[in-house]
Chains A and B, each alone.
Chain A
């Protein structure tokens, strides 16, 4: 009975919420202003921008710098008159005002096309089931741009993620469907908007990394940034230890390139099998992340009635299609030689074919190429994008069905997800965001496409976008330029970026002064005050010096942990000088080094064939003031396969540590005492 009544209540509540949503939508969802011009018109101005990149470094008072990657026009393609470079990504590097890379910290990353949504965009973002663009943000203002990620999250940021996950699970299901649906809808839209910005940033950084020329960001920094960005979507991505970022980067890059290659080949084969034309579009690094599928005008009539297999292509048959037979849109005449290779029109024996574009696909999607533009049916890609979103929103935001809430739903959802994934059905939204971001970047940076055609693609891409917080591609370029100016202005203000950095450092200092338990308590305070409270220390010179040391220790700990994971003998496979440098640092300042570092030192000791490295490992273990470090030393001492002199040295260090009152477990202390007695 209760259940039935509950359902009735739910229905009326849902109806009320839907009405509110529709009213709100009618207010908000005004048509996108045409701005009196073609959306692609501004793109044309930027069309000169091609594959080159330029990097600019701007110092910020207080000891940090902003590194910005600009897309630049290639000299051979520059039109007469100045063409401004387009700022794309800025990264803040906190250097503590010195030249030591060891104490540098990468902090914020700005995708300059990403901005705080306007009031109307935000309002639209709240409305459930609004899967359409509303308005562009036309006035960026003078505020600094929002960062898409803090690359060195403070405790409070990390804990915020945990608390928010718990809070969402516990409280949201108890809220009314209205509050839940609206707030989760907003949260989803905001996250998606940020995700698409992150995807664009990853693409830019990938292209920049593969380009030649100046490299202001080191290889490690580039990998760290990209790894952190790629981990954003993973449940515990924020928890990843820095020493594993290199592995994350390698794995993710390999995976992405695997997807791309598979999709390239899948699309080529299926295009070929259906008698269509496959046209990969290469980006500046030579990789094709998108492809256009064309049909020959002469085949459309000739193949009328021919069977068409649309699996993976996800478009309806072009053969005999009236729309294509009377095509008014873009078409191209291309010339082919006897080997079906495209050649210049003047090539002897070349044959002309008039090609009509059918669709554009993104190739970076797992398993199958993803249709982004259907030149005959704008609704086709949009439907694919909406389908899963509707299901997620309905089950998650409205019905509050948890995957673990009931067996029928769990099984049903599992089967649906399994079958769509296994059969490679183009319904995965997270990747679609990435594909759209990449396509927008391609349109902005590539000049090989015909301008008119590019304009048509841009229009169709915009109409497929679901997120009310998104802006047009041309608007995003203006936003990028304005936000870059705002960022620079903020960097110059005394109460601007430098103050933020100073506060960040003060927050970072709490790690030096307080233990884990206390810091968790601070983080809780920050969470429950919605971030108003953030614990910060007073930045005394002593604490600044300790911060410097702590950062350097982090650097060396990471290096040693990575070394222990990869090396079979540092003498052979590593830069021995760098190993020594890190070991010396730990042996001097490593009292607070972590347990993983102690394990790393013990391993390096065991694999190293150089006595000075082994000596430094023992010195480091002695210096680390933890019972784990002393346990490792004791294990070395007790290992009769270890050379006698190392065991003697270890014994001396252990006795010294005991005498100094270092942290040693009771049982180990007893053993060490017995060594002392001997």
Chain B
């Protein structure tokens, strides 16, 4: 055989094998119906599927059993990767990419403006009143980051999507028809429904169901359906009793049955997969109410720093007449015990609080040095200082500016570059938008062209707003940097020009959070022996780690509920000090503060193949010095450290090997297998996902234009400045809700009960999805999209998208495909 012949033969064999692989991996799933249920815990479903209803002699949830337990595959150990919170979790489930949106509400700390991902009313209003809004805010952010949604993998005309957090476009017919269909035509039925109370919350989901049931049969051209329902989450926040929660589950069970039967009655039944997925679990216990703890009050107290605090929801919303206003502005709660900003809450809030999800809270605090500058300026503008003190205060003021000059100059010039690029993009985009048609033919609308036009206009508006706000921030930096010691006259300085109202400035370092300046001490400004301002004694400082963890209540009336509302506080540490002291490369470690003696550092590193490894290090007394160095004492691992793996009976490592195991590096898969059944489950991975950065755009990309590079850098920056200073986790059965009460239960934490979500799948004969299979291997939400796309043959064995998808901006998916769904299916098919 000649070399040529051998080469041809080898090529043919390789080609055939590749084709076979692609064909088999396609599995014949050509159509998917995804039922997205907010807050549905897998273990809770499982519990009631296995209970028999004495009335029928069948499962309490007969359709779950029929569809997914008998005729499908379920993944009982499916977890949220990160906080068990809807905004972030759906972000991963809808994109398959690492965490970008890290809260239901995020704040841009430079501008003080919020991203409110859950509030659909402004979206509907803008959508209805103008042609300049196409998508919910979360979908817009994903567009800015060039991360497509799963639904984008399907042609607009071939998909049906319902109202949801990552919603694209809006269909008024759903709302209109849903409203009309809510009222029975029959008079007697109408009176009965009226007497029971019409369920306005179900207007859109009821119509979405009707649409899907109809279109499954009548529109064989639609390949992708999704249905999103928050009823179970809503009920579980309010009610912890089993009867109420199960009644909602039974409604969901009926829905599964109706959709399944509609699929069976459709012409594409054999190639259709029905998928049930939820974003997180739920911490609800029929024996205990979830107790709320008011962090706004803590921050507003003198001990908490006297912060005027911004929230995105009104406190005690349901008890306020103003609470009815749907276009919720930023709510600024005035602190009665503010040290230096008394009655200036509308102008100078110094804390931004996101409590959504409720078992956790994220807090931005204004940069401690901005506080110091503000206080010193106030003092210098007054007449109370003598000459020596005035000189010392002025020196201190300029010392701070000098300390930050390098960073602020860099930030200012970089942002200026970025917003100039943004300005050029705006100019171009304005012409494009102006040229877009105002009216569309039915055919164009069927292809979504009207939505595309709206989207372009919406992105333009957002960019204009971004430019305006960031120019203000740059202006503040430039104003500060332009101050000169030699000609400084504080009386001529307008504070608002150098301390931008609403802005939090740069993130606080751990040192700053441990020594946070909140006001002048009772003794006033003090000089040290060198006639310099004594910064230690002149100011009141707060250590937020100690403060938060030391909170306790006096009414401790429920068994199994601690009198301490805060479980732990977590922040990201700078990676640099660790990289130098560590033999192996270490990314930014996560510091988990239990108390001064019980702390953990979670180390992580990523190898060349993209595989992540982690290490759990128990420490005490960690502190950061003003120069950035970090000191701590390494402690032998034992019980009582945060996340409690060591003492957890469900930790899958023998007791005598745990100490050694915990102190060494393990891959993510090894960690998942070892810890997923413990109380804190995959918290170690989740904390890293939540607090570490996952940049979408590689720095120094060469395949894009200079302006596009700058724009990408700007969008990445915007993500970074939404990162909060502190992540606070509530103790079991505690929550931080302040807009009302969630006694039924909550989520947001890393407890297994809150992160164990649902992933079940069943399909027709051609889909090859295994029947009656429970996948024991643990997976997380990053696995969802690649598994679905692999089943549909849209990504390859390396999770790289097909050419068509790559052209739409899809990139490699980092999550593990749930191979059992594919592998076992193939085996069964062969049998």
Name A residues whose Cβ lies closer than 8 Å to a Cβ of B.
219, 231, 234-237, 239-241, 244, 247-248, 250-251, 253-254, 257-258, 261-262, 264-266, 268-269, 271-273, 275, 277-280, 286, 339-342, 367-368, 418-419, 422-424, 566-569, 572-575, 578, 596, 607
Chain A's closest residue to B256 (CB) is A568
Taking CB atoms, residues of chain A closer than 8 Å to B63 are 568, 572-573
> Contact: A236 with B244, CB < 8 Å?
no
* Bound Cα distance from A266 to B63, whole angstroms: 38
Interface string of B44-62 (1 = CB under 8 A from A): 0000000000011110001
Whether the pair A339, B241 counts as a contact (CB closer than 8 A) is no
Q: Which residue of A lies closest to B265 (CB)?
A: A641
Q: Cα distance A126–B55 when bound, in Å?
A: 49
Determine the chain A residues whose CB is within 8 A of the CB of B320 once the complex forms.
Answer: 422-423
Residue of A nearest to B559 (CB): A341
Return B731 CB to nearest CB of chain A, in Å: 12
Interface check B247, CB cutoff 8 A: yes
Other-chain contact of B552, A240, A340, A368 (Cβ < 8 Å): A340
Complex interface residues of chain B between 240 and 288 (CB less than 8 A to chain A): 240-241, 243-244, 247, 253-254, 257-258, 260-261, 287
Cβ B741 vs Cβ A266 within 8 A = yes
Chain B residues closer than 8 Å to A341, beta-carbon distance: 556, 563
B294, A269: Cβ atoms closer than 8 Å: yes
From B187-195, B405-413, B490-498, B576-584, the one touching the partner chain is B187-195
Given contacts A266-B741, A339-B563, A422-B320, contact A254 B195 (CB under 8 A): no
A236 x B191 contact (CB < 8 A): yes
Whether the pair B195, A422 counts as a contact (CB closer than 8 A) is: no
Q: Interface size on B (CB < 8 Å)?
A: 54
User: How many Å lie between the Cα of A262 and that of B319 in the bound state?
Assistant: 12
**A265-B292 CB under 8 A given contacts A339-B563, A568-B257, A573-B254:** yes
Of residues 180 to 198 in B, which have CB atoms within 8 Å of A's CB atoms?
A: 186, 188, 191-192, 194-197
Q: Point out the residue from B191, B297, B324 that lies within 8 Å of A273, measured CB to CB.
A: B297
Query: Is B741's CB under 8 angstroms from A572's CB?
Result: no
Known: A261-B238, A261-B741, A573-B58. 5 other contacts (CB 8 A): A250-B247, A254-B244, A262-B740, A277-B555, A279-B557
Residues from 619 to 663 in B contacting A, C-beta threshold 8 Å: none
Q: 10 interchain pairs (CB within 8 A)?
A: A236-B195, A239-B191, A261-B743, A261-B744, A262-B238, A265-B741, A422-B324, A423-B320, A424-B318, A572-B58
B243 to chain A minimum Cβ distance, whole angstroms, is: 6
Bound together, the chains give a CA A241 to CA B287 distance in angstroms of 34
Rounded to whole angstroms, the CA-CA distance of A133 and B318 in the bound complex is 36
**Cβ-defined contact, A262 with B254, below 8 A:** no
- Contact at B66–A572, with CB atoms within 8 Å? yes
Contacts of A339 in B (CB 8 A): 556, 562-563
Chain A residues with CB below 8 A from B754, complex form: none
**Chain B residue nearest to A569 in the complex (CB):** B261
Binary flags per residue of B286-299, CB closer than 8 Å to A gives 1, else 0? 01011110100100
Contact B195 A424 (CB under 8 A): no
Q: Complex Cα distance A9/B253, Å?
A: 66
Name the contact of B192 in the complex, choosing from A240, A261, A278 (C-beta under 8 A). Answer: A240
Judge whether A268 and B557 touch: CB under 8 Å.
Answer: yes
Which residue of A244, A253, A261 is within 8 Å of B196 (Cβ)? A244
Name the CB-closest residue of B to A574.
Answer: B56
1/0 contact string of B471-509 vs chain A (CB within 8 Å):
000000000000000000000000000000000000000
CA distance A251 to B258 in the complex (A): 22
Interface residues of B in 317-373 (CB under 8 A from A): 318-321, 323-324
Asked if B554 and A253 make an inter-chain contact with CB atoms under 8 angstroms apart, the answer reads: no
Which residue of B235, B257, B258 has the most chain A CB atoms within 10 A of its CB atom?
A: B257
Of A236, A568, A596, the residue contacting B260 (CB under 8 A) is A568
Does B195 contact A235, Cβ atoms closer than 8 Å?
yes
What's the least CB distance linking A439 to chain B, in Å? 19
Residues of A within 8 A of B196 (CB): 240, 244, 247-248, 251
B290 to chain A, nearest CB (A): 8
Q: How far is the CA of A286 from the CA of B559 in the complex (A)?
A: 13
Expressed in whole angstroms, the Cα–Cα distance for A574 and B740 within the complex equals 40
Contact yes or no, A572 B62, CB < 8 A: yes
From residue B33, how far is it (CB to closest CB) to chain A in Å? 14
Contact A239 B254 (CB under 8 A): no
Given the complex, which residues of B lie within 8 Å of A286, measured CB to CB? 287
| A486 CB to nearest B CB, Å | 35
A367 pairs with B318, CB closer than 8 A: yes
- What chain A residues lie within 8 Å of B261 (beta carbons)? 568-569, 607
* Nearest 6 interchain pairs by C-beta: A568-B257, A261-B743, A254-B244, A573-B62, A265-B743, A340-B556
Query: Which residues of A have CB within 8 Å of B195?
Result: 231, 234-237, 239-240, 248
Give the docked Cα–Cα distance between A122 and B563 (Å): 53
* Binary A-proximity of B703-722 (CB < 8 A = 1, otherwise 0): 00000000000000000000
For A566, the chain B residues whose CB sits under 8 A away are: 254
CA of A264 to CA of B292, assembled, Å: 11
With beta carbons under 8 angstroms apart, the residue of B235, B258, B321, B324 that contacts A568 is: B258
Could you tell me the distance between the alpha carbons of A339 and B555 in the complex, rounded to whole angstroms? 9
8 Å CB contacts to A: which residues of B724-749?
A: 740-741, 743-744
B56, A264: Cβ atoms under 8 Å?
A: no
A277 CB contacts on chain B under 8 angstroms:
554-555
Identity of the chain A residue whose Cβ is nearest the Cβ of B59 in the assembled complex = A573
- Residue contact A278 to B555, C-beta cutoff 8 Å: yes
Q: For the complex, is B435 an interface residue (Cβ under 8 Å from A)? A: no
Q: Residues of B contacting A278 with CB < 8 Å?
A: 555, 557
Partner of B289, one of A235, A244, A251, A265: A265
Whole-angstrom CA separation of A637 from B740 in the bound complex: 55
B217 to chain A, nearest CB (A): 9
Q: Does B698 contact A (CB under 8 A)?
A: no
Name A424's closest neighbour in chain B (CB-CB). B319
Question: Is B557 a contact of A280 with CB atoms below 8 Å?
Answer: yes
Which residues of B are found within 8 Å of A257, using beta-carbon distances? 239, 241, 244
- Measured CB to CB, the nearest residue on chain B to A243 is B192
Inter-chain CA distance A424–B743, complex, in Å, is 18
Given the known inter-chain contacts A251-B197, A265-B292, A340-B563, please indicate yes or no for A271 contacting B555, CB distance below 8 A.
Answer: yes
In contact, B188 and A241 (Cβ under 8 angstroms): yes
Specify which chain A residues have a CB less than 8 angstroms from the CB of B743 in the assembled complex: 261-262, 264-265
Cα A353 to Cα B339 with chains together (Å): 35
Cα distance A603–B394 in the bound complex, in angstroms: 83
**CB < 8 Å neighbour of A244 from B66, B192, B238, B553:** B192
- Given A234-B195, A251-B196: A575 and B58 interface contact (C-beta under 8 Å): yes
Minimal beta-carbon separation of B774 from chain A (angstroms): 20
| Contact of A258 with B239 at beta-carbon distance under 8 Å, contacts A568-B254, A573-B58 already known | yes
CA distance A244 to B297 in the complex (A): 46
Closest Cβ–Cβ distance, residue B462 to chain A (whole Å): 34
Docked CA distance A262–B240 (Å): 11
| A269-B556 contact in complex given A237-B195, A253-B243, A254-B247, C-beta closer than 8 Å | no
Return A406 CB to nearest CB of chain B, in Å. Answer: 24
Q: Which residues of A contact B257 (CB under 8 A)?
A: 567-569, 572-573
The CA-CA distance from A390 to B192 in the complex, in Å, is: 32
Neighbouring A residues of B552 by C-beta, 8 Å: 340
Query: For B66, what are the chain A residues with a Cβ–Cβ distance below 8 Å?
Result: 572
Query: Which of B197, B239, B289 is close to A264, meaning CB atoms less than 8 Å apart?
Result: B289
CA distance in complex: A286, B290 (Å): 16
Closest to B199 in A: A251
CB neighbours (8 Å) of B563 from chain A are: 339-341
Closest Cβ–Cβ distance, residue A655 to chain B (whole Å):
29
B744 cross-chain contacts in A, Cβ below 8 A = 258, 261
